[in-house]
Structure formats: structure tokens, C-alpha cells
Amino acid sequence: MEDDAPVIYGLEFQARALTSQTAESDAIRFLVGTQSLKFDNQIHIIDFDDENNIISKSVLLHQAGEIWHISASPADKAVLSTCYNKTSESRVVTCGAVWRMPPEWESGSHESPDDPHNSHNPQNLELLCHLDNSAHGNASSVLWEPMGDGKRVISLADNHALLWDLTESSTQATISSSATLEGKGQLKFTSGKWSPHHNCTQLATANDTAIRGWDLRTMSQIYCIENAHGQLVRDLDFNPNKQYYLASCGDDCKVKFWDVRNINEPVKSLEEHSHWVWSVRYNHSHDQLVLTGSSDSRVILSNMVSISSEPFGHLVDDDDLSDGEDNHQDEKSKEPLQDSIISTYEEHEDSVYAVEWSSADPWLFASLSYDGRLVINRVPRALKYHILL
């Protein structure tokens, strides 16, 4: 059973910002933001035709500055947010903003990447509102409320977490509450994740080597994992099926899995990368599948089945089994399956800053390295059938 080859797309600029289009559940679509100091920056809308293994793209101009972070609205597929650099009074500041794609981008204006005329007069994004936080410092990321109506976002700016309410048209944002990181030295949030559990009332943030949990109703800290990693924590993700489970990765080359009810030590720790780990993502449907990307230029797909929501594999109700299948089911359910590294992907030649699962196809994912190479890969078929059958 041969697996499909990876599909590679090259941007002409360096890039580190990647997201899947969360509100799109039919088309496989990723958004990539570029980092160019000389030229106008761009957002590439990458559509993947799964049947024919073909990528098509649209390019939108993001003239505001180089993009450090991008995220898509969970409710409106034309709306996205970016964090970008701009020069103000001879110093560089990082701002957050919410944008709308022009209406034409969806009307079949996609071109194949090989088309020589594919970069003629790209359109501008329409600015909906600034998440104007000049009083609060530099924005490192903007997080949308999971499964929300696209009207609540959190921006992390230096040592502030700001909860914004957007108006119906998203053209105005007001801060409804905020939390501040207190302590010695220059504290700064490096990343955060809005939990899809507990009615979306919890946020996890990383700063330096610590991971903190916050209750968004009171904007107070609910847990703190000091020294979660030996060096800087780079990224976090919540298990979509187990409400207390959280994954983290960092500059100590490790990926750790936590149960936030018991923060003294991780439930599990992986050390498969040989350099900083920049990104960790749980699969949205099958939480045993965990992706990581690192500046060792590799993407690793792990099967963390022992700490997943299905540690014994996919169990079938007894009623569904015919007599002949009973014995086989008994054998299968006796012992938990073993954790393993499924695959290491080495199509990148530069630091992999972002990995993302597709919102439309649970077996497909994209990774982005700093040289502007986007690689689309699939979970190996044998494993896919093993999980499903």
C-alpha cells in the first residue's frame, strides 16, 4: 500500500506564519504569511485538490508589514488576523489587526503555481480593525475563540493578555478585560492557546520556561507550571478530546504532555528533535496523532496512543459484533497500544516554524519552513486504516 508523495509549494519570500482556514470544512485550504523587508508582504491562499494532488493559489497583498503570526476566524472564512512588524518613530513595533479578504478571492481566481502570470496585480486585504495595543506593547499572537461566532479574540502583547470584543461587522474592537503577567524582569508571553473545553473560559500561555492557565471570566491565574521546559517554551496545544490535557514544546528539544490537574511532572515527554521545537499540534479528530516541527528542519508525526482518548484503539460495542468477531475483540482490548514515532518528514531544508492539520481533512497536514517552502503531507495509509478499522 504505497503512500502518496508529499506536495511542495515554494513562496518567493521567507515565511513563518501558517494557519488552516478554520471556517472552511469542505476545501483543503491553508493561509501563509510572508516576511519580506524589501517588498510588499503577501498572504498566499493555498488550495489543495486531494484527488489530483494539485495545489492552486491566490495571492493577497499585506502591505502593513512582515507577518509573524496569522490566524483565521472560526466563523467567517473571509476574515483573518495577523501580527506584523511596522516601523514607528525609528523603532520596530509589532501590531495586531483583523482583515477581510476581497470578495473576488473565492470566485475562481486561483492559479496554478506554475503559471507565469500568476502574480499580476494581487489584491489588497481590507483592514477591518486594529487591535490597537500601543499602550500594552508588542503583539505576539491573536487567538480566536474556538468554535465561537468570530466576535471574541485574545491578543498577547508583551506581558498582557487582552480579551477583545468585535462588533458585528468586525470593524471595531474593544477590550473587555485583560490580565497582566506580574513578576521580576521583563516578562513576555511567547505563545498561547484558547482552550476549546470548559465553555471556552480558559486560556493557556507560555512565557520563558513557564506555562500558565487563566480563567477568562475573572482573568485570574488558575495554574502555573514553573520550569515546564529547560529552556524557552515555544508553543502549546490542547487535546481536543481530553479537557485537561495540554502539549508543549520548546528550546530544550522536547515535547511534553501535561495533565493540568497534576502539574508536578509531565504525563509523557518526547525528545526526538535535535534542535528547538517551534510548533506542536494535536489532530482535531484523532488525538493520538501529534505533529511537531523544529529548526532541525524535520517534521515528526507521533502516535501518542497511551495518553489519547482511545488508549485501547477504536473499541466497538459488543452489540455490533457477530459471534465470530468476539474473540478478536477481546484480544484487542486487553492491553493499551504502544506509543511510537510514525514518520519523520525531511522535505524541508530550513527551520520548520509551523505545522498545521487541515480543517477539512483529518489525514492531511501542512508544514512551513523559513525559506518559504510549504509541504503538504498525509498520514500513512496503513495507520489511517488501523485507526479507522
Say if 206 falls within a structural domain: yes
- Angstrom CA distances, 166 to 163, 175, 192, 238, stand at 10, 9, 20, 24
With CA atoms as reference, report the closest residue to 35 among 370, 316, 334, 265.
370
What is the per-residue pLDDT for 112? 62
Provide the b/e sequence for 27-53 (b: ≥16 CB within 10 Å).
bbbbbbbbbbeeeebbbbbbbbebeee
Domains in the chain, number: 1
What is the per-residue pLDDT for 30? 97
In which domain, by residue range, is 142 found? 7-105+123-309+336-388
What is the per-residue pLDDT for 86? 86
Say if 117 falls within a structural domain: no
What is the per-residue pLDDT for 169? 86
What is the per-residue pLDDT for 90? 78
What is the per-residue pLDDT for 332? 47
Whole-structure pTM value: 0.90
Contact between residue 162 and residue 133 where contact means Cβ atoms under 8 Å apart: yes
Say if 112 falls within a structural domain: no
Weakly modelled stretches of the chain, pLDDT under 50: 1, 108, 116-118, 318-322, 324-327, 329-332
The domain spanning residue 260 has which CATH number? 2.130.10.10
Provide the b/e sequence for 97-131 (b: ≥16 CB within 10 Å).
bbbbbbeebeeeebbeeeeeeeeeebeebeebbeb
Place of cell 527551520: 351
What is the per-residue pLDDT for 113? 58
Say if 323 falls within a structural domain: no
Say if 118 falls within a structural domain: no
Distance CA 374, CA 370 (A): 9
Distance CA 23, CA 30 (A): 11
Say if 247 falls within a structural domain: yes
pLDDT tens, residue by residue, 297-307: 999 999 999 99
Say if 320 falls within a structural domain: no
Say if 199 falls within a structural domain: yes
